[in-house]
Amino acid sequence: MDPHRVERIAGALREEIAEMIEYELADPRLRGVTVTAVHVEPGLRRAHVSVSGGAEAIEALEHASSYLRRELSSRLRLYRVPELHFETENPESPAARVEELLERVRKNREKKSRSPEK
C-alpha cells in the first residue's frame, strides 16, 4: 500500500480520535487525555494509538474501541477501519514527538520550495 496514503489515514485517525475523546466520550477517566500519535500498519489491519494518560485511560479507551471504530467508519468512509490498540506514550516520547513534528515542517517546506511560482 502507498506509504503516503497510510500516513494520511494515520493523521485523519489521530484527528478524529482526539476529537471524539475530547467532545463525545463522557468517561471521567479520559479527562485530560490527548492523542499523541497514531501508527497504522501498511495493510490497515491495526492502528497503534499513543495517548497521554495512565492505565485507567487505556482501560476506558479499550472499552470504547468498538464505538470509536464504528464512528471512524462513518466519518472517514473507509472500507476497512483498523483495529485500535491503545498504549501510553513513553517518557522519552515527547522528544520523539517534537522530532516528528519538526520533520513534518521540514517536508512541508521542501514541498513548497519545489512548487513552481506563478
- The pLDDT tens digits of the residues spanning 37-68 come to 999 998 889 999 999 888 899 999 999 999 99
- Strands, sheet with 83-88, edge to edge from the N-terminal-most edge strand: 34-40, 46-52, 83-88
Low-confidence ranges of the chain (pLDDT < 70): 90-95, 110-118
By the 8 A CB rule, do 12 and 76 touch? yes
Per-residue confidence (pLDDT) for residue 112, from 0 to 100: 64
Q: Can you tell me the distance from the alpha carbon of 33 to that of 41, in angstroms, rounded to the nearest whole number? A: 23
Per-residue confidence (pLDDT) for residue 49, from 0 to 100: 95
State how far Cα 104 lies from the chain centre: 15
Per-residue confidence (pLDDT) for residue 111, from 0 to 100: 64
Per-residue confidence (pLDDT) for residue 72, from 0 to 100: 95
Per-residue confidence (pLDDT) for residue 98, from 0 to 100: 78
Domains and CATH numbers, the chain: 3-90 (3.30.300.20)
Which among 49, 54, 59 is positioned nearest to 18, based on CA atoms? Answer: 49
